[in-house]
Structure 1
Amino acid sequence: MNMIGLIAFAVMGSFKALREGLDLFGITVLGVLTALGGGITRDLLVNNIPNALTSYSDFAFALIGVWLAIVLYRVFQKDISNRYFILIPDAIGLSAFTTTGAMIAYNADVSFFGIVILATLTGIGGGIISDALLGKIPVVLKDDFYASCAIIGAVAFYISVKSGLSLNSSAIICSLSVLMIRVLAILYKWKLPRFS
């Protein structure tokens, strides 16, 4: 799931760059940061050397996602990041990253709010960074039922682990919660209420 997520997140970030007409370097930077930015930020907050900086595989999968996005863009001649075959792998990535974030936060002995914040940040941080680099309001803050899925999954993780379930069982519950809710949100186009 983590590998799928790295590729899918890199594809989404690269499509943002392609929409804005960035060059190859810009596309690569946005794709890689979207895939790895949340995890790097989380690791820094818990005083760990980011895994993305010590592992060749994470960076390699992010680059595969960048390459795939460029190929898809050339084939379809347009942004296809709203298609199901892109959105579902992205949902898998959100699920995997949120769960990883929750587990690392739990092992870092942070509070309930720390677990929710770090799990959610791991899932959505890369997208926020790439939107900020483009000078845009992050999409997760205005346009989609996305961050909410990570928050719900992190809460489910915390309740599970505090109920006496093992860390692995709690991780599975978190992962399935995020994935199922996100897929339903995609299928039924869920959005949070707006007041403007």
Structure 2
Amino acid sequence: MTHKIRVIVADDHECVRAGVRHLLQERTNMEIVGEAADTHGLAELLDAHACDVVVSDVGMPGIDGGSNAVPFLRRLLRRRSHPYVVVLTMVCHGHMLSGLRNIGVTGIVDKREAAATLIDAIVTVCTGRVHLSDQVRVALDAVDPTSQFQASALSAREWEVFQLYVQGLAVHEIAQRLQRSAKTISTQKRSAMRKLGLETEADLIDYARKIGLA
């Protein structure tokens, strides 16, 4: 790539965006062309600016509501022409990270390792290769390879149910709000938990806290 690598940074924490800005500002081969605090802002930036790499969190306000950017990133990566995506995250749950790889994310960096590895991740994905930081690799290696759900990403409806449930709504309340049957809501909740490798309600709440949903 002969031109500067054009980067858009998306994270709902200003301190994270400032940290990424600091890392990239001394790089003569990179430039930040935009910053967003949520997926709505990210979508507007992508429409307005040519971009090679999106560096994005997943636990930030979603364009469809809630606090999850995964559905938006999934749609972005399905486009015929799209930027590379490097996810910068505190999530250390192997099934979730595996799901990100499954939707086409080629760079995943644990935020605690950003100073040491984010630049390498941006350069690596631009060459068409995969970059995973050390902590991410550890979490992915711990995933049971025989699990049929290990690489599954949640559907938009499953995320919707998942988010409402961890906010404290009961199954029948979610069913009423979304105008679906309680049986459908219960099925979608169980499916989401299986795909994420969550076995108990405690696991579900702990996971939701880690990605900023609770």
**TM-score normalised to the size of structure 2?**
0.28
Rg (Cα) greater in structure: 2
Instruction: Answer 1 or 2: higher relative contact order, Cα 8 Å, separation at least 6.
Output: 1
**TM-score normalised to the size of structure 1?**
0.29
Q: Normalized per residue, which structure has more helix?
A: 1
